[in-house]
Amino acid sequence: MEITKDTLIGELLMEDYGCAAVLMGAGMHCVGCPASQMESIEEACMVHGMDADQMVAVLQEYFNTKKEQEA
């Protein structure tokens, strides 16, 4: 999965609910909130005062590592 700042939190969670731990570890404890499902990574980072580019990189690394482990 290619992650961008426009990727919705809901899309991430549908792809792999395990990324919720990555988001919560970064301080986004609202991943279970229905409203967060339609927020982009950029919007969520803005609300939490986080760098969206850094969050995209962390999430992309998570998905890349998972893909490598499955191969």
Any domain includes 15: yes
Any domain includes 1: no
Instruction: Please say whether the beta carbons of 41 and 59 come within 8 A.
Output: yes
Any domain includes 34: yes
- What is the 8-class DSSP label of residue 37? G
Any domain includes 4: no
Q: What domain range is 56 assigned to?
A: 9-70
Any domain includes 64: yes
Q: Can you state the percent helix, strand and coil of the chain, rounding each to 5?
A: 65, 5, 30
Any domain includes 60: yes
pTM: 0.89
Total of domains in the chain: 1
Given this model, what pLDDT does residue 60 score? 95
Q: pLDDT digit string (tens) for 16-61?
A: 999 999 999 998 887 888 888 899 999 999 999 999 999 999 999 9
